[in-house]
Structure formats: structure tokens, C-alpha cells
Structure 1
Amino acid sequence: MSHDESHMGATTGPAPGANLTGTANMAEASDKPHAPMELRPAAVFSHRMVLQRRRPIPVFGTGEPGRTVMVTLASSERSGMLALCGDGRSDSVVASGTVGDDGNWLVELPPLEAGDGYELTVTDRSGIRLVYHHVGVGEVWLAGGQSNMELELRNAADGERAVNDSADPGLRFFNTPKCGHVSDELTRLENESVWVVCAPDTSGAMSAVAYWFAHRLRERLETHVPIGIIDCYVGGTSISCWMSETTLESSPSGRGYLERYHAIVDGKTERQMHEETDAWQRDFDAWNAAIAADQASQPDIDWETLNARHGECPWPPPMTTFSQYHPTGPFEAMICRVAPYALHGFLWYQGEEDERFADDYRAMLGMLVGEWRARWEGETLPFIIAQLPQWISKSDFDAGIDHRYWPVLREAQRDVSLAIADVYTVPLMDCGEFNNIHPTDKRTPGERLANAALNRIYGCADVPADVPEPVSWSYSSNENASDDDAGDANVHVSAGSVIVRFDHAEELRFSDKNASLEPPKHFESRESTPSFRPAGASGFEVSTDDGVWHPVAARITHSADDPGESFVTLPLPDTLHPTGIRYGWASWGVPPLSNRWDIPAFPFSHLIPHASSTTIR
């Protein structure tokens, strides 16, 4: 793939309406125990925190070297006794340690069963005593990525109703302050960051995807199990922002990001970078104010009109050594400040910002999984990846341009989950919106991620999570073509057909479900049925020896022996002898194949060898 520098790619940036510093859960100073420099737990420890059940619980922070630290988790009148893993109960569990020469300390409490209403106390021998109230033990997940994970519940589809109905003392979240470098300002923000209980006056600031994920877990898991979400994302960030320099330097893909970064910032003074950032901020604020004014006076105004009046969003901001968008920045200032807080796993929704370097994304995502697991010392901590949905800009669509970066990104996300244990990719091919890179339906992605967790990780076999996927294909020449293949008047068959066998394909069908079917002409077809799509409307293409891809019709049939097995037959027109087959290989395309649970099939692209059949996986 050519990395055409003139193509600036998708303008992602922050999610619409997002808080750019992650400070929506800032507390009054009195709401968090004042921690002196001599003994300071990490910012992620606060009142109402949720600790991970059934795993050792690290409590960590900074302090004066040589100090002894004691941590106690104790029951209260409200909570009852702590439930120990294995057997038995106790009034409290205790651990102690010493602040190291580097000023860091970590002690580890034993694993516990779920519970709530506990108190966590951190003390030393000098009399410092920090007490955190209303502590729960349950399930904790970190939600990471960029703007589609960042999009807040109040700004999502049906957000007002969801926020109004969100009261749940067992669902809590912590917004990690958004920052790209460790500084006094970050320390100030961390001192005021707290865990927040979901309620109508708080939940609007939560990631909408993470909210619906947690909401679904609360519905299905035991009612006494609190769910905690650590929101740790920045809209507009590249995947390189979320890894260390050591990891980036370890591969050609990572070094490319560092080289491009240094080509921009090297030679600039800090003063120059601040002046550039300040000038951009003035332009960005003025543009947002103009957009907001027009939207307030004309609620139905469209983005084409807004952009014509005020120009495109001035994004991205200048690259600097201190911005949220430079390689390694959020990793050092956000991930490393939260790790190794005990988790059950990670949710990851990102990739849009890396479209121009899609060929590198498979390697980069694999490195990110490895680095985060190492940081948490959990080699098998689950990752659940939100596969990118469909999207294309109106300008590209009208011009007939599709760089097909997004199919490569989707394939990379899928490949990582096939290559690395306990990594799962969830398809969102039915969740895109035409000309809107921030689709507002976040309930479908959130609940689909949750269903994957419930089925794959929590062992809820009755929760549907299996994705239709191709497992093999066969090719029959014209002498073996069936009468059924030639039965449609609009399909002329002489070269035979390719038959693709799908697994997890109960009641496989062409679905009409899509967040936005605009522009309608792209999807209309008189011949279309749930089991048949003509060429150009099926999403299937085959290639020939000259490398040209040709749209083909597709017909679905179901196995008589296995309800989970279905076949897609691709009748081939005259002289078309296939060398490759692909499905859904476009940034924006036709409504996808789905099974009985409305789970869309993974897009794919495969070469066809000279053999008459092969196994795909």
C-alpha cells in the first residue's frame, strides 16, 4: 500500500462533544483523601473504587524511600465480612511493604470474592493514614482507544434516555486524565480524579461503548458483583501513542512512527511548539464556536453546509513533545499511571487514525497486546477488539475513491485475534454510518463486546457470540455447474461457480440492518432477497489472472445436516476463472451477511490456488 503523503486520511480527532482533558469526574478536594508526598497511592485509588475479584490485588504508589507501607482492606457494618477465595471469611486482609530506592512501592492483597462497602486503609509508621470508603470487589475492565471509544453516553444515540435510566450503584467508572506527558498539571488532574457511581448526573461523561458493555455484564452476572470501568482513551490518537519507545524501536513498523515524529519536532524549541499549539487552539476554539452557533440556530443543518461556511475542522493539532498525540505520550502519562491496577481484561476500539499505515497495523496491534499484558504481568489477560465498522466520506464516495485502507485494518484486527491466545475480535460491519466517522449507535458495539466476554471469558455458553466465518471453498467448472446456479435470469453462468462454506452461520442471510443506508442508491436492488444478491450488491468479488476484481452474485443455501453450516454460491460469468475471492473488502459497502443473532460475518480476502478446493483456516 502506498503511503501517499498528500492523502491526509480520515479526520478523526476527539469524539463530538468529548471532554478533551478527561476531567469530567473531577471531585471536590474533600472527596479524596489528601495524600502527602511521603506516601501517595496512585491516582486510580479513590473512594468507590472497584477492585478485581479472584485475583491478587496490587496497591501501589510513590513515597519516601525506606518507608514501611501497610495496606488493609476491611469489612464495615454495611458490608459484612470479606469473602476469601477458596473458603472462609475474614474481617480484614493486610499486606505491607517498603518504598523502594526509586520512590515506588507496591503491596499485594490476597484474592477475594465479590462484595461491596469495604474500606481500604493505607498507613505508615509516621502516622499517615489514608482511608478510602465504599470499596467494591468485582469485575474491572479497561476501555482504551481513540474517539469511538471516547464518545460519551450523553452524545450517543438515545443518550438522554440512557443517562436518565443509568442509576446503578454497582456500576462505576474512572476517567483517566487525558495527557501526553508527565507534568505538574497531570499531577493536579490526578489528585482530583475519582471513581464515580453511575447516576443521571455522572454517567453522561462515560464512554458509551464501555457503559453498554458494563450494563450488559450487570444484567447477566450475579447481582452482587460490582462492575468497574477504567476509561483510558484519547480521541485522534495513533496506536503508536499507546506503546513505549522501547517497543516501537523494536520493529520496523514502530520505528516508522518514531521517524515521522522526529522529522516534525526535532530542531524546534519548546517555545516554538507552545506558540504553534496556542495559535492552533485559538483557531480550533473559534471553529467550534462557529459550528455550535450554527447548530443552535439551525438544528437540522448538515455538515456539508457547515464545512462550506467554516471550512474543515482544523485537525490535527501541531505535533509537539508534550501533546496527547505524539508516540508514547498517553502510554507514559496514562497507561503507566494506571498499571498494574488489577483487571479482568481490556476493551480496544482504535485504528481509524492509522489508516495510512494500515499495512503496519497487524504488527503494531500485536506489540500493543504484548506490552500491555507485560505491564500488568498478565500473559493471558483478555483483549476484546472492536473491529472497525463501515465508513466513507461523502467527498470520497462522490468521487468514486476508496483507498481500501479500512479493509486492511479490519483484517489486521482479525488476524491478531487468530494469532494470539485470549484475544477476540468483534465485527461491527453493520454499525457504520455514511459520512460519519463517529457512528452514534454505541449500544450495539458495547453489548456485542459484552456478549463476547460473557461467552468466551465468563463461560455463558447460551450468550450468542459466534461470528459467521468462511472455513473452506470449492470451485466447480462449467460442466459441474448446477441448474440452480443458472436459474436466475440476471445471472449467466458458463464458467462454473465458487462455493464458500461458512461456520457459525445459523440462518445465514443478507441483512438489511445498517446504521445508515445512505446513499440509498448504493443498496437498492430489485432482485435482492435475504438469500440472494446480484453482482455489485452481494459484497463478494473474485479476481482473475490480471489482478482485476469482479463483483459477483451470491446465493445462500443451508446445510441439511448441520444447522450451523451454510454455503454461499458465487456463480461465475463467462471467461471468469477465479484466482482470489473476497467479501466486504471496501471501506463502505452493501449490508453484510449475518446469522440468526444479527452478528455480521467477518470480511475476508483469500487467494485461490490451482486446487479445486481448500481450507481457509
Structure 2
Amino acid sequence: MFDEEAEAMVTATGIAPGSEMTAQMEQVEERNVSGVLHIASIFASHMVLQRNKPIAVFGALAADCAGMEVVAEIHDFDGSLIAQEHAYSSQNVVNGFSQWRVMLPAQPEGGPYTLRIVAGNDAIEFDDVLIGEVWLAGGQSNMELELRNSEHADEALEDCADPLLRFYNVPKTGVINRNAENTSSWQESSPENSGVMSAVAYYFARKLRSELDPDLPVGIVDCYIGGTSISCWMSEDALNSSDAGRDYLTRYQRAIAGKTQQQFELETSEWQSQMDAWNAAVETVRQTNPNATSSELSEQCGTCPWPPPLTPTSQWRPCGPFHAMLERIMPYSLAGFLWYQGEEDEQYSGSYRELLGMMIGEWRALWSENLPFLIVQLPQWINGKTAADGNDPMRWPVLREAQWDAAQSIDNVYAICTIDCGEYDNIHPLDKRTPGERLANCALRQIYGMDRVPVHGPTVLGFRCDPNGRVRLFFRYAHGLHFEGTTPGGGDDDDFDGQLPTLVRVPEHSGFELAGSDGMFHPATAAIFVDCDIDDLVNSRVNVVDYNATEFGIPINSRSIGTITLATPDVPEPVAMRYAWRSWGPAPLFNDDGLPAQPFRLDLTDHTSPVESAEPVTPDGTAD
């Protein structure tokens, strides 16, 4: 019998369709072991090492070799020495091993090289090693969705051969699986290899390859599991440091309480049989109807048997992948992190922002570096039955707000908006090129300093309310501000799109809503005014909601300021407004870079300092 706590554990996501999961396999030889020397499995021939910062090389020695010297060397193709450094393994022995870490001096991009590690009489060499940019791609099923299963997969795979684009798939597991690690490897991008790479990460890496130096290698470390909550990627210490984190641990402990190992094994075996049967049924349906929706699949195949049972070895338990995956590759030198996750935490959306900030802090502490953290803000999605019942739980807007707030309030964290993406009744949208390339554009501008790359959609700067109940919103990054379509995918909206000018939207299609003192939101008519400049902003006593307007290197008056006026007779005295504040709904506001406005909400009674009280602005856009 389900109680409220147990029902809350049910996930909406699961594993990305067709994703390659770590499976049991015959025992294979230890590939990174020579005598007493053990090297972390992420080190392998064909790997990419991070340029322009110290290169961490790490592993372990047998217990009786604690304190022994370990030497790491990089050699050129002719055997000449490029770099060398040494360290001594720890005197502390944990689980029969003494840990060591050598920090090789920073190197520019180049290769192929040989990386050689020596401890006493034992040595291991890796060849065809490149030095370039390395990013870790983390999260759950939408990061996990593989290139072979994404939109236009055949075309992408035909054109993916690139010896300077390489990837490493961390084995997906909830407990350390050395056998799986021994079969893992770095691979070059090719039609034969790249099908099992994260589609989002592939398009990110491909864009970097095309925009940066053509001789610059790019490596991706794929580290994700579909259906994982944010708690899976944090340590017990981190989760125990907050009420929200402790709640995840408490729910898990309740789920496994009183069960024997035999029960865990039986439950897992039964679930796997059900999941295999369901996947087979889905595959049969898709052979005749490739575009079957989630609702149609459920009608014909039954409800997906998800979530799997929680066990002490489950990939989906709190902290499991953190220990079995992330810690196994930490601190492999990186340029930064990519993060696409949050769907699994829908039930606990109110605490997501706190945990996201904690996780970012913990990851950076593990790497001892304030690494860039790039977030994919969740796209549109709603379950078909939920939509048909007219019951939007409105949790995804809270998750999106949490992700956006993290990017605005945490140093060196950025988010891309994908509110124009998503598929109705499909939590795994197949277009992964759009989020992948937007992540790349974000990195190109914010991390690599390419100011010409557009990354900002229209962003609200302030508002003004007039006595007639109208609300005027002021936007920056509003060049070419216009309405385009309504919800992702068009459909009937395409016909509507040609019926009105691109500067006006009727209430049902604007995405804007106003609420009065009763708290009830009503759709509002939205009209864009294009002839607005900085004088309009200063003279209108606008209530500022964005005090960081110049932080991105673009003074607020150096590009056009756009305005939108909202009104509805249902709300004569508005006290709150919101835009695109639905799991699935109209979100038609764009600029001429083709970038959407992110969802937002405003308290219109929050009368902050007006613009004219800020620092005077000179004609060239700088503070006086």
C-alpha cells in the first residue's frame, strides 16, 4: 500500500530510451595495473588531457608500498621528454591501498604524446594522448540520451568522424565496478563509436571544435545515469548538512528498512524482468509507429515499471553514483562541467535550488578549483494525461527558476534557456542539437571570451505600473524583440502565427499572466514597443529587478531596450506577473538572435530603487 512518502518517490523520468547501461560481463584483465602500481581507469590511450593548467595523474599503490615515489612523464613522438613530476604515495592505507597523485606542470594543446607512470620497477604507458579542452557532462536521462537515439541521428553519425574529438563513458553503476572500468576506454568520434556518446555533449564538443582552433582537441567525460535525483551526485556529508538533503536520506532509509539481501535481489530481478518486457513491447510498437507518444505507449504497453526498487547497491540511491562514478574520476583535470538534470526532483522542487548550490560547491571543492558550471534550464514538458485533466502541478517552473537563480547568484555558473524546446508528452525530447550548441555558445562567450557569440535572450530589466492597470516591462538583449509561435513544435500555432503582427499576442497565446490581490493569475494581452531607448528607461521611474545589467560587459544602453505592455480587464490592479510559468504553455518571446526569453515572475508591489537613482550613464554606456 502506498503512503504519501512512498508515492513521492515515484519518478517521472527513468532511463533515456535505448541508452547503453553498464551490464554484467565476463571478468576481464586489469588494464591499468602493473605489479604494485594502479592507475585510475579514466587514464587510457587516446585520452585528452586538459591544457594550460596542472595535469592531475592519480591512482594507488599496494599497501606495502605506502610512501613510495611515483613518477609521471609526458614524452613526444620521438621519445623526448616534455614534462616530468613526482610525488609520494600516502602513508595512510585505505581498503588495502595507498593513494597517490602527481601534478604534472601545465602544458599547451598538442600531441599525440605518450604518458608514462613509474613506481619502483613497475610502469604503465598510454599512447596517442592529446592535450586540449576537457569537459565533464553530468546529469540524468536528457544528458544520457545518446547520439544514436537523437533527432537526425543517421545524418549526425555519418558526419561525426573527428580524430580530435574524443570521449570517455564512465561506467554507469551505483557501486564500484572494476570489471566495467577495465572495459571502459577513451574513443575517437566516429560513426562506429559516437552513437553511445551523450548527444548533448557531442553537439557541444562539435561546436567547440568548429569555433576554436581547428587543431585544438576536445574531450568529453560522460558521467550520468538516467532517473537519478540530484542527491545521487552528492556525498552523505553534503546531504546531511541541510534539512532538504537529510530528507532524501531519510526517504531512502525508510525504503530499504527491514529488508534482507535476498529480498533486494528478488525485487531487483523481478523489476528487471518487467522492465525488459516493457522495453520489448515498446520497441514492437515503435517499429510500426516511430512517433508514438508516451500516452500511446502506456495505453498499448502498460505503465512503465519505474522506479526500480531501491537497494544498498542501486544506481538511483542517494550518494551511489557520487561514490561509484564521480569519485572514481576525480580530480581529472577539466575545463568545466555541463549539467542537465532536475526532472527527477520534481516532487521536491522547492528544495532544488539549495541542493544545486551545495552540489556545485562540493564538486568544485573536490577539484580544488572554481570550475565553470554550465546548466541546461529544463525545457517544456507535461504528461499527456495530466494536461488532458487540466492539472498542471507547476513544479517545473520552480525547477527552472532554481536553475536560473543559481546562474545569477553563484560565481562562474551559467544557464542556457531551452523553454522553446521540449516535446509534448515526451520527457526525453529528441532535439539535442539545440541545447548542445547553446551550451557551446555559452562556453565560447563566457569561458573562451568570444564576445561575438550571442547567448542572451530577452531579459527583464525592470517594470512600471500605471494607474490604468497596465504593466510596462523593460527588457535588455531586446534587439529585434518579437513574438514567434507559442509552444514548441508549432502545430496549430503555426496557423495562428500568421494571423497577427509579431509585436502583439492575445492573452491565450502571449505567455504573460497578471494577478490581483486574490492571487489568481489571468492571461494578459502583450504588445511590444520597439522605439524605446535609455531615456525612456530613466524617465519612467522603472522599478529595477536586475541590478547586474552591466556585469556581462554589455552596458544596458549600448543595445536597444525593448518594452512590452501587459493588460487584462480581469485584473484592474495587478500585484504580480509571470511569463511562461507553466510546465507546458505559450513562450513566444524572442530576440533577433533567435534566443528565447527565460521564464520569470515578478512581485509588482516590490518597489525597488528606480533607475534614475543608479549611477549616471554617459553616452558611451559607461558609468560616470
Q: Report if TM-score (shorter chain) is over 0.5.
A: yes
Match of 1:86 in 2: none
Per-residue deviation, residues 205-231 of structure 1 (Å, max 9, x unmatched): 100000000000000111111000000
Match of 2:418 in 1: 428
Match of 1:253 in 2: 244
Match of 1:597 in 2: 593
Cα separation, 1, equivalents of 2:258 and 2:565: 59
Match of 2:404 in 1: 414
Cα separation, 2, equivalents of 1:360 and 1:612: 27
**Does the 8 Å contact 1:22/1:176 carry over to 2?**
no
Match of 1:99 in 2: 89
Cα separation, 2, equivalents of 1:541 and 1:521: 19
> What is the identity, as a one-letter code, of the residue corresponding to 2:474?
R
**Does the 8 Å contact 1:142/1:230 carry over to 2?**
yes
Cα separation, 2, equivalents of 1:230 and 1:529: 46
Per-residue deviation, residues 103-160 of structure 1 (Å, max 9, x unmatched): 11001100010002000001122x2121100101100000000000000001100011
Q: Does 1:11 align with 2:1?
A: no
Cα separation, 2, equivalents of 1:145 and 1:124: 36
Cα separation, 1, equivalents of 2:502 and 2:6: 42
Cα separation, 1, equivalents of 2:164 and 2:608: 56
Match of 2:549 in 1: none
Match of 2:483 in 1: 510
Seen in structure 2, the aligned counterparts of structure 1 residues 305 and 571 have a Cα distance that, compared at 3 Å, is closer
**Does the 8 Å contact 1:533/1:554 carry over to 2?**
yes
Map 1:179-190; keep pairs closer than 5 Å: 179-182=173-176, 186-190=177-181
Match of 2:203 in 1: 212
1:585 maps to which of 581, 586, 589? 581
Match of 1:452 in 2: 442
Match of 1:57 in 2: 55
Match of 1:135 in 2: 129
1:119 maps to which of 103, 110, 114? 114
**Does the 8 Å contact 2:337/2:374 carry over to 1?**
yes
> What is the identity, as a one-letter code, of the residue corresponding to 1:59?
V
Cα separation, 1, equivalents of 2:270 and 2:305: 11
Match of 2:390 in 1: 400
Please state how far the C-alpha of 1:419 moved relative to its aligned partner. 1.2
Structure 2 unaligned segments of length 5 or more: list them: 534-556, 615-624
Seen in structure 2, the aligned counterparts of structure 1 residues 203 and 14 have a Cα distance that, compared at 3 Å, is same
1:568 maps to which of 546, 564, 567? 564
Per-residue deviation, residues 251-284 of structure 1 (Å, max 9, x unmatched): 0110111111111112212221111101100111
Map 1:125-274; keep pairs closer than 5 Å: 125=120, 127-182=121-176, 186-274=177-265
Seen in structure 2, the aligned counterparts of structure 1 residues 368 and 584 have a Cα distance that, compared at 3 Å, is same
Seen in structure 2, the aligned counterparts of structure 1 residues 296 and 66 have a Cα distance that, compared at 3 Å, is same
> What is the identity, as a one-letter code, of the residue corresponding to 1:509?
H
1:537 aligns to what SS in structure 2?
helix
Per-residue deviation, residues 428-482 of structure 1 (Å, max 9, x unmatched): 001111111000000010000000000011000111112321010001113xxxx
More deviation, 562-571/454-463: 562-571
More deviation, 332-341/294-303: 294-303
Per-residue deviation, residues 543-574 of structure 1 (Å, max 9, x unmatched): 11111111101011124435431001112426
> What is the identity, as a one-letter code, of the residue corresponding to 2:173?
C
> What is the identity, as a one-letter code, of the residue corresponding to 1:260?
R
1:191 aligns to what SS in structure 2?
helix
> What is the identity, as a one-letter code, of the residue corresponding to 1:16?
P
> What is the identity, as a one-letter code, of the residue corresponding to 1:361?
Y
Match of 1:493 in 2: none
Q: Does 1:368 align with 2:369?
A: no
Q: Does 1:359 align with 2:350?
A: yes
Please state how far the C-alpha of 1:309 moved relative to its aligned partner. 2.6
Please state how far the C-alpha of 1:69 moved relative to its aligned partner. 1.0
Q: Does 1:536 align with 2:508?
A: yes
> What is the identity, as a one-letter code, of the residue corresponding to 1:508?
L
Q: Does 1:71 align with 2:47?
A: no
Seen in structure 2, the aligned counterparts of structure 1 residues 22 and 497 have a Cα distance that, compared at 3 Å, is farther
More deviation, 233-242/582-591: 582-591
- TM-score where L is the length of structure 2: 0.88
Per-residue deviation, residues 313-355 of structure 1 (Å, max 9, x unmatched): 1011001110000000000011100110000100000000000
2:148 aligns to what SS in structure 1?
helix
1:587 aligns to what SS in structure 2?
coil
Please state how far the C-alpha of 1:513 moved relative to its aligned partner. 7.7
Seen in structure 2, the aligned counterparts of structure 1 residues 151 and 256 have a Cα distance that, compared at 3 Å, is same
Provide the aligned length of Structure 1 versus Structure 2: 577
> What is the identity, as a one-letter code, of the residue corresponding to 2:478?
A
Seen in structure 2, the aligned counterparts of structure 1 residues 263 and 523 have a Cα distance that, compared at 3 Å, is farther
Structure 1 unaligned segments of length 5 or more: list them: 82-90, 479-495
**Does the 8 Å contact 1:369/1:383 carry over to 2?**
yes
Please state how far the C-alpha of 1:512 moved relative to its aligned partner. 2.4
**Does the 8 Å contact 1:474/1:612 carry over to 2?**
no
Cα separation, 2, equivalents of 1:66 and 1:284: 49
Q: Does 1:295 align with 2:295?
A: no
2:529 maps to which of 557, 572, 575? 557
**Does the 8 Å contact 1:27/1:193 carry over to 2?**
no
Cα separation, 2, equivalents of 1:295 and 1:574: 46
Cα separation, 2, equivalents of 1:28 and 1:47: 21
Cα separation, 1, equivalents of 2:216 and 2:486: 34
1:536 aligns to what SS in structure 2?
helix
Cα separation, 2, equivalents of 1:377 and 1:391: 36
Please state how far the C-alpha of 1:296 moved relative to its aligned partner. 2.7
**Does the 8 Å contact 1:170/1:197 carry over to 2?**
yes
Seen in structure 2, the aligned counterparts of structure 1 residues 374 and 272 have a Cα distance that, compared at 3 Å, is same
- TM-score where L is the length of structure 1: 0.89
Q: Does 1:46 align with 2:37?
A: no
Per-residue deviation, residues 12-54 of structure 1 (Å, max 9, x unmatched): 111111012289xx99979x95513621110100001111001
Please state how far the C-alpha of 1:302 moved relative to its aligned partner. 4.8
1:131 aligns to what SS in structure 2?
strand
**Does the 8 Å contact 2:515/2:522 carry over to 1?**
yes
Please state how far the C-alpha of 1:611 moved relative to its aligned partner. 4.5
2:372 maps to which of 364, 367, 382? 382
Cα separation, 2, equivalents of 1:21 and 1:74: 34
Match of 2:604 in 1: 608
Please state how far the C-alpha of 1:5 moved relative to its aligned partner. 6.3
**Does the 8 Å contact 2:28/2:179 carry over to 1?**
no
Cα separation, 2, equivalents of 1:611 and 1:513: 31
**Does the 8 Å contact 1:474/1:613 carry over to 2?**
no
Cα separation, 2, equivalents of 1:262 and 1:328: 12
